Structure 1
Amino acid sequence: MPPPAVGVATIKAESLKLYDNLPGRVSAFRTAEIRPQVSGIILKRFFEEGASVNAGEKLYQIEPTLYEAELASAEAQLAVAEANAYSAHLRAERYKKLSKNSAVSEQELDDSEATAKQTEAQVKAAQAAVRSARINLSYTEITAPISGVIGRSTITEGALVSAQQSTALTIIRQLSPIYVDIQRPASSVLLMRNPALPREVTLSLEDGTSVEKTGELQFSDANVDPGTGTVNVRALFENADHLLLPGMFVRANVPSSLIENALLVPQQAVMRQAVGATTTYVVNSDNVVEVRGVEVTRAIGDKWLVKSGLKTDDRVVISGLQKIKPGVTVTPEETK
């Protein structure tokens, strides 16, 4: 009777990248809280809540009349200052010529030159006042500082707002790209500094749905949370479809280590005994079955990562197990 045929898989060493599945929170790439920089009545809101806005786009209009009047007043004060400076300059030049003939005293000449300099300073102060008034007038048009998705408005037309008030009028969040903040054990952070370790990160949502696009690790905090013993690691993802939203809970597969010459054994080849030990059947060079104790650490897909008990080129039995026992000669058939 011919020896029974069994399916075998040959153990090969390979370079293995390991990943940790860790919790994370989504956060916006940029966030801008919109607050007024001048006080006044809101005349109009220009955006639709929940819509996308571009940087520089007009969001609100504050009543500008008061600030237009302040600008006109500042420009008038500048005109007066320039006229005074012109007159003082002419007087100083005239006294300078007269002093050569001793028609005016040195004191009168000094006073005229000092007055000219004072009026020049007054012109600069008036110019600054005009710039300030013009800036305040421009602040009556509240514009978007960044591009993104704008939230709900906390005020309506007719509301009185104040400069630097604590309550934001609305919030803009840039959602593409977007950050995911991941809590990683501090003990594994040093492993991340291996330049051969990949930097890509994959995500799954709270309901288990996988996110198609991969992200890239950006940095890790230089601080360990003493309460949790974790370090915050940040990854960046493209998010053009706005699938990921700030505050969302996700699970992230983050590179943890790189193992050279790792040995993987198919899970169906490993048997767990009643006492808890794990074994596998190995076909030796004479095609005789041996039982081998094996220690495995973690599942990698449909295989186990071997810690001890097997070596490169060992042939483990993965099918036909019911036909064999230790010491039996078999016909091994390599299975991919």
Structure 2
Amino acid sequence: MALAVAATLSPGLARANEANGDAPPLVGVVTVERKEILMTKDAPGRIAPMRIAEVRPRVSGIVLERAFEQGGVVEKGAVLYRIDPTQFQIDLDSARAAQAKAEANLFQAARQEDRLKALLNGQTTTQAQYDLALAAERQAEADVMAQKAAVRRAEVNLEYATIRAPITGRIGRALVTEGALASENQVLPFATIQQMDPIYADFTQSVAEMSALKEEMERGGFKPKEGAVRTRLILENGKTYPLEGKLLFSDVTVDPGTNQVTLRAQFPNPEALLLPGAYVRVQIEQGVRANTITVPRQAIQRNNAGGAEVFVVNDQGRAVLQPVRLGRTLGDQVVVEEGLHPGNRVVVEGFQKFMSGGHVDPRPASRGRTEAERG
């Protein structure tokens, strides 16, 4: 830390430099001011696909062909695998023949019913004989309906011999090859398709943090930002994902093991830069806080007890340590809850050039204030 470096300068050496008339060292400072800032919250999360479908066979048979490129994008309905259709075609032909036979029987039964109905009107046959003919016709009608269902079942099985993509998305590696025996009851899927544009980021937040945020909003410390809650992603390499997302929901159930709730955000992913399972940090906008003091993170020093301090240039031009109570960290800035006032000049550069209490020549820090303006 800069404090540790400054402490290596002996008091005697510092007094000697001042006595010799040496110019005070140049240091970079920022002037404290109260401002309105956008409060954000970072939370660890994982990328999850919007939809996921495991490709499985619905009939049994030998796989004849794999018709997709592994790792590519497939459209809904695209052919993925073909299972040997020979047996299913035979079953369909047999069912159609049985249907034709049933329809012929129905035709004969209907004609017989018509004849006996005419004879019954002429009183040349009995009611019992007509009832038997009518029952035979209705049975023949039922047989036709049953055979039509058998034909449809055979047609569906033949269609299932061609395995198609149930959703549009990126398909993973093939888990079976040509020549494998497919079974409609098998556990292992043929492949997995994941819809990745848009894509989800799932993360958690503790109930205590949510309650504290709600209380501060009720006190007027926060103003909810208008419109949808915007979110950003910090990738594993530390870079910010270029496209913003939106918060979808907060789970209504608290995990009893962690006392946290799960939140989900949605992000556009046209270039497939976000992959399912990847670790990210999700940054969500929580609201606008007025009259807030922040300082750059490099200004913060730590004493032997672990307390936070900053160097403040006083009216005599000396850099003195000032204890502070810190709040939330927002990017490269830290919220200061107590210890600083508007107009204070806080040292952020040149710590190695002076010791606590020494004279300094404060100049505006080279990094300026651009990164401090988060809101």
* 1:240 is aligned to 2:261: no
Instruction: Map 1:72-111; keep pairs closer than 5 Å.
Output: 72-111=93-132
Asked if 2 retains the 8 angstrom alpha-carbon contact of 1:9 and 1:315, the reply is yes
TM-superposed deviation, 1:140: 0.7
Mapped to 2, the partners of 1:170 and 1:274 lie a distance apart of: 58
Q: CA deviation at 1:8?
A: 7.3
TM-score, scaled to structure 1: 0.81
- Preserved CA contact (<8 Å) 1:264 1:303: no
Contact residue 11 and residue 264 of structure 1 kept, 8 A: yes
Aligned to 2:327: 297
SS of aligned partner of 2:280: strand
1:25 is aligned to 46
Larger deviation: 23-32 or 296-305?
Answer: 296-305
- Alpha-carbon separation, structure 2, partners of 1:300 and 1:69: 69
The question of whether the paired residues in 2 share the 8 Å contact of 1:9 and 1:318 is answered with yes
Higher mean displacement: 109-118 or 257-266: 257-266
Deviations 1:3-22 (A, max 9, x none): xxx987362342532323x1
Amino acid of the structure 1 residue aligned with 2:127: E
**3-state SS of paired residue (1:124):** helix
| Contact 1:202–1:211, Cα closer than 8 Å, also in 2 | yes
Q: Secondary structure in 1 aligned to 2:137?
A: helix
For 1:41, the equivalent position in structure 2 comes to 62
Quick one: distance in 2 between partners of 1:246 and 1:272?
40
Residue 194 of structure 2 aligns to a residue whose secondary structure is strand
SS of residue paired to 1:307: strand
Partner of 1:287: none
Aligned with 2:344 (options 312, 316, 325): 316
Contact kept in structure 2, 1:269 and 1:317, CA below 8 Å: no
Match of 1:288 in 2: none
Could you tell me which residue of structure 1 aligns to residue 34 of structure 2?
12
1:161 aligns with 2:182: yes
Residue identity opposite 2:279 in structure 1? F
Question: Whose strand fraction is larger, Structure 1's or Structure 2's?
Answer: 1
Give % identity: 39
Contact 1:262–1:305 under 8 Å retained in 2: no
User: How far is the alpha carbon of 1:261 from its aligned partner?
Assistant: 2.1
Distance 1:251 1:277 in 2: 26
Aligned to 1:261: 290
CA distance in 2, matches of 1:235, 1:116: 63
Tell me how far 1:305 sits from its aligned partner.
2.2
Q: 1:221 to 1:100 in 2, by over 3 A?
A: same
| 2:228 aligned with 1:228 | no
| Structure 2 CA distance for partners of 1:119 and 1:305, relative to 1, 3 Å | same
**SS state of the match for residue 329, structure 2?**
strand
Give the whole-Å Cα distance in 2 for the aligned partners of 1:112 and 1:29: 60
Residue type matched to 2:344 in 1? V
Higher fraction of helix: 2
Aligned length, in residue pairs: 323
2:151 is equivalent to residue 130 of structure 1: yes
Give the structure-2-normalised TM-score: 0.73
Aligned partners of 1:274 and 1:125: how far apart in 2?
A: 88
CA distance in 2, matches of 1:298, 1:151: 41
Q: 1:8 to 1:47 in 2, by over 3 A?
A: closer
Q: Per-residue displacement from partner, 1:187-222 (whole Å, max 9, x unpaired)?
A: 334658996375222222223233222222112222
Letter in 2 for 1:11: E
1:269 and 1:281 in contact (8 A); partners too: no
Q: CA deviation at 1:316?
A: 2.0
More displaced, 208-217 or 292-301?
292-301
Considering only aligned residues, what root-mean-square deviation do their CA atoms show, in Å? 3.7
Taking a change above 3 Å as real, the CA distance of residues 236 and 108 of structure 1, as seen in their structure-2 partners, is: same
Structure-2 change in CA distance of 1:273 and 1:213 (3 Å) = same
Residue 91 of structure 1 aligns to a residue whose secondary structure is: helix
Check conservation: 2:247, 2:264, Cα contact below 8 A: yes
For structure 2, which runs of at least 5 residues remain unmatched after alignment? 1-26, 218-222, 316-320, 358-363, 370-375
Matched-pair contact (CA < 8 Å) for 2:92–2:151: yes
CA distance in structure 2 between the partners assigned to 1:45 and 1:183 by the alignment: 40
1:62 aligns with 2:92: no
Partner of 1:205: 235
How far does residue 157 in structure 1 lie from its aligned partner after superposition? Answer: 1.3
Aligned residue type for 2:101 = V
Secondary structure of residue in 2 paired with 1:165: coil
Question: How many angstroms apart in 2 are the aligned matches of 1:220 and 1:265?
Answer: 29
- CA contact under 8 A between 1:262 and 1:306: conserved in structure 2? no
Q: Does 1:114 align with 2:143?
A: no
Question: 2:240 matched to 1:218?
Answer: no
Aligned mates of 1:159, 1:299 — CA distance in 2: 57
